[in-house]
């Protein structure tokens, strides 16, 4: 099962990067499958460490996934890295093996430390829709717009019907991102 998280890494100069990413949890191991062209993949491979943040903040997924925001953070306890301040819990990890394909890495990490701020209560339908719309928006460059646009509209309908202020703000950012990408073509 793939769990949506925010993965934080450090680049070679120590600058933090945050990226929404699905990970596979398996007891004391985490598998991450980033695209090789991403900053997150470069940081994970070159640094060998990262932090998986389990967050219920849908706006944070949009901010870091589409706008490359550096989220508020503090220093990880056991690995070189940072933890998103708004996370419910986190797992600090160290790289133990790597493989994958030409386009996508498959990195296996050992969990070095688990931390917790508060209980993760899950996502309402609107937050799920924000996460899904964010994922769709990150794939605009290589997916068919005739398939993507109806899915984004459906997400918007769910958010409008069931979301609060934060979810509607997050979806507005997604719409702005999509419009800007469309005008760049």
Q: Are residues 89 and 153 in the same domain?
A: no
| Residue at a domain's end among 59, 86, 116 | 116
Instruction: Note down the domain range covering 61.
Output: 2-116
pLDDT digits (tens, 9 = 90+) for 64-90: 999 999 999 999 999 999 999 999 999
What is the reported pLDDT for 180? Answer: 86
| Residue at a domain's end among 116, 147, 171 | 116
Q: Are residues 25 and 82 in the same domain?
A: yes
Which contacts (CB < 8 Å, 24+ apart) does range 175-181 have? 177/66, 177/67, 177/137, 178/137, 178/140, 178/152, 181/137, 181/140
Complete DSSP assignment for 28-96: TEEEE--BTTSHHHHHHHHH-EEEEEE---HHHHHHHHHH-----EEE-SSSSSEEETT-SEEEEEEEE
What is the reported pLDDT for 25? Answer: 96
Q: Are residues 12 and 43 in the same domain?
A: yes
Rounded-to-integer distance, Cα 139 and Cα 8, Å: 20
What is the reported pLDDT for 14? Answer: 96
Q: Are residues 45 and 134 in the same domain?
A: no
Which has the closest alpha carbon to 153: 173, 169, 175? Answer: 175
What is the reported pLDDT for 124? Answer: 85
Q: Is the pLDDT of residue 185 over 60?
A: no
| Residue at a domain's end among 69, 91, 116 | 116
Q: Are residues 28 and 98 in the same domain?
A: yes
pLDDT digits (tens, 9 = 90+) for 17-52: 999 999 999 989 999 999 999 999 999 999 999 999
What is the reported pLDDT for 148? Answer: 80
pLDDT digits (tens, 9 = 90+) for 150-177: 899 999 999 999 999 999 999 999 999 9
What is the reported pLDDT for 82? Answer: 98
What is the reported pLDDT for 57? Answer: 92
Rounded-to-integer distance, Cα 52 and Cα 111, Å: 10
Structural contact between residues 51 and 83, judged by C-beta atoms closer than 8 angstroms: yes
CATH of the domain at 110: 2.30.110.10
What is the reported pLDDT for 147? Answer: 79
Structural contact between residues 155 and 132, judged by C-beta atoms closer than 8 angstroms: yes
Q: How many domains are contained in the chain?
A: 2
Structural contact between residues 92 and 55, judged by C-beta atoms closer than 8 angstroms: no
CATH of the domain at 129: 1.20.58.290
DSSP annotation of 104 reads B
pLDDT digits (tens, 9 = 90+) for 93-152: 999 999 999 999 999 999 999 999 999 877 789 999 999 899 888 887 777 777 788 899
What is the reported pLDDT for 121? Answer: 79
Q: Are residues 109 and 57 in the same domain?
A: yes
């Amino acid at each position: 099962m793939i769990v949506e998280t925010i993965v934080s890494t450090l680049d070679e100069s120590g600058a933090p990067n945050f990226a929404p990413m699905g990970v596979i949890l398996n007891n004391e191991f985490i598998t991450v499958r980033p695209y090789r062209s991403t900053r997150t993949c470069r940081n994970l491979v070159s640094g060998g460490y990262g932090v998986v943040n389990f967050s219920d903040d849908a706006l944070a997924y949009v901010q870091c996934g589409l706008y490359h925001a550096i989220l508020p953070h503090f220093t990880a306890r056991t690995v070189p890295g940072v933890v998103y301040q708004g996370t419910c819990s986190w797992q600090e990890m160290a790289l133990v093996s790597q493989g994958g394909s030409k386009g996508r890495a498959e990195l296996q990490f050992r969990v070095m430390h688990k931390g917790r701020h508060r209980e993760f209560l899950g996502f309402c339908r609107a937050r799920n829709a924000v996460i899904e719309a964010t994922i769709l928006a990150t794939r605009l460059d290589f997916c068919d717009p005739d398939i993507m646009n109806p899915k984004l509209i459906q997400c918007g309908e769910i958010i409008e019907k069931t979301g609060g202020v934060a979810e509607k703000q997050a979806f507005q950012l997604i719409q702005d991102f999509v419009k800007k990408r469309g005008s760049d073509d």
